[in-house]
Amino acid sequence: MQIIENSKIKEKLYIEKLENGLTVMIIPKRGIQKKYIIWGTNYGSNDSTFIVPGETEVTEVPKGVAHFLEHKMFEQENGRNSLDVLTALGVNANAYTTNNHTAYLYECTDNFYEALDEFMDYVQHPYFTDENVEKEKGIIGQEIMMYDDYPDWKVYLNALENMYHKNPIRLDITGTVETISKIDKDILYKCYNTFYNPSNMAMVICGDFEPEKILEEIKKRLINNKSNGEIKRIYEDEPVDIVKEKVEQKMEVSKPLYTIGIKDIPAEDKEKVKKHISIEILLNILIGSSSELYKQLYDIGNSYSVPSIEYEFDKSYAFILINGQSNNPEELFEMLKKQIDKFVSEGINESDFNRTKKMIYGEYVKEYNDVTSISRMFLSDYFKGINSFDYLEEISTINIQYVNQVLKNVFKKDKMVLSVVRN
């Protein structure tokens, strides 16, 4: 078992790639009562066109299969629902689907190993029939229509549709009522057998565990399944330009909602972490709670709370999102552009840079206090080819010159979109 230690926060990661290809990561937390396990597959809503290992033909499945599959995994051949079984044991179980991975998880203080039996059983034993697939279409169809009525979701999705021409990131993770109507049990089994192979999966366990002991418990519960090789994922080429700058939708909201998006290009492997940290620094200096721009917006009554800021990226996409409520989103958008122009011409203030960098480092360290944050972070980063400890190591190497260069390369006005939802 490989041990990676981070001396800054005195944390250890135990990592082992098993014979079947499954990667297991264990982060022991001595004296912590809560235990957390998350088992993910590198399979998300973007993966609808691919070549199965050992085949030559391209397989294309309807949009929404990854999310549909996640919903169906809890239903077992014996008539039980594994979510109900886990809840009865007193553990908090859940699952989720993103654009690039699907994850199953639970957390508890007691009955960890009893829950592990059920958890590892249902993830390895799918059960799909014509009847239970048809029934699920109705349930997910209602979920899709419900999200269509959520202003927060629509303002976000409209921003992605304005940024991306072809990349599936622009589509709802759940698919549409029309696309899920084409899903059947054969499609689900094909996608399960392709993407739920151990070689395409990773597991993260965090809590008061002896690494060798918990690893043996995991191995005991694994079914005999061989690594099936690399899955070739196929995405259409995405133009570098945006679709259009502004979109507006009328919905029932008390105050206008906005999402500002900035389309970017994914970084090279060695630059991914440095670039991500730099963009976090820049966003906080630009429009964070102590920024000059946020103070101006607050003083003129054009921002009700600090905007949420995030940078999302994977192999085929990268973008910035700034979300919030504003009386006049168009004015806010123009003020943001002017502030970017000012920073590009004058450079970032050094004291702002140093203060923000320290604050972000503090936030990274705080994440290691919570077993949930640690586990989800290590899983998500793993599928991006990143070790989460890299953020703690790389932040000290970032200087103001590098950040100013990222500002010029990424924060371009012709790559910016504004999505608004108002009454």
Q: Is residue 225 domain-shared with residue 366, that is, in the same domain? A: no
Q: Is residue 407 domain-shared with residue 288, that is, in the same domain? A: yes
Residues of the chain with pLDDT under 70: none
Element (H, E) at 300: none
Q: Of 177, 201, 233, which closes a domain?
A: 233
Q: Is residue 48 domain-shared with residue 179, that is, in the same domain? A: yes
Does 284 reside within a domain?
Answer: yes
Does 238 reside within a domain?
Answer: no
Does 71 reside within a domain?
Answer: yes
Q: Is residue 170 domain-shared with residue 229, that is, in the same domain? A: yes
Q: What does the buried/exposed string (b/e) look like for 275-289 if buried means 16 or more CB atoms within 10 Å of the residue's CB?
A: bbbbbbbbbbbbbbe
User: How many residues does this entry show for the chain?
Assistant: 423
Structure tokens at 101: 């991975």
Q: What is the DSSP string of 116-178?
A: HHHHHHHHH-----HHHHHHHHHHHHHHHHHHHT-HHHHHHHHHHHHH-SS-GGGS-TT--HH
Burial class for 243, CB neighbours closer than 10 Å (0-12, 13-18, 19+)? middle
Instruction: Note whether 48 and 168 are within 8 A (CB).
Output: yes
Domain of 194, CATH number, reads: 3.30.830.10
Element (H, E) at 5: strand 2-6
Facing residues of 93 across strands?
106
Q: Which residue has the tokens 């209602």?
A: 142
Q: Is residue 54 domain-shared with residue 27, that is, in the same domain? A: yes
Q: Is residue 191 domain-shared with residue 75, that is, in the same domain? A: yes
Facing residues of 3 across strands?
14
Q: Is residue 268 domain-shared with residue 366, that is, in the same domain? A: yes
Q: Of 201, 233, 265, which closes a domain?
A: 233
Q: Which amino acid is at 172?
A: D
How many other C-beta atoms can be found within 10 angstroms of the C-beta atom of residue 128?
22
| pTM for the structure as a whole | 0.95
Q: Which long-range contacts (CB under 8 A, 24 or more apart) does 395-402 make?
A: 395/277, 395/357, 395/360, 395/361, 395/364, 397/274, 398/274, 398/277, 398/278, 398/281, 398/357, 400/347, 400/348, 400/350, 400/353, 402/274, 402/278
Q: Which of 172, 173, 155 is closest to 417 using CA atoms?
A: 155
Q: Is residue 228 domain-shared with residue 336, that is, in the same domain? A: no
Q: Of 212, 233, 254, which closes a domain?
A: 233
Residues labelled as active-site residues: 70
pLDDT value at residue 147: 87
**Range(s) of the domain holding residue 133:** 2-233
Q: Is residue 206 domain-shared with residue 251, that is, in the same domain? A: no
Order across the sheet with 318-325: list the strands.
246-250, 416-422, 257-264, 318-325, 308-313
Q: Which of 144, 149, 159 is closest to 64 using CA atoms?
A: 144
Does 241 reside within a domain?
Answer: no
Q: Is residue 274 domain-shared with residue 392, that is, in the same domain? A: yes
Instruction: Note whether 221 and 117 are within 8 A (CB).
Output: yes
Does 308 reside within a domain?
Answer: yes
Q: Is residue 223 domain-shared with residue 348, that is, in the same domain? A: no
Q: Is residue 272 domain-shared with residue 352, that is, in the same domain? A: yes
Does 360 reside within a domain?
Answer: yes
Does 378 reside within a domain?
Answer: yes
Structure tokens at 152: 């927060």
As for how many domains the chain has, the answer is 2
Strands 2-6 and 11-17, bridge-based pairing: antiparallel
Instruction: Note whether 171 and 117 are within 8 A (CB).
Output: no
Does 239 reside within a domain?
Answer: no
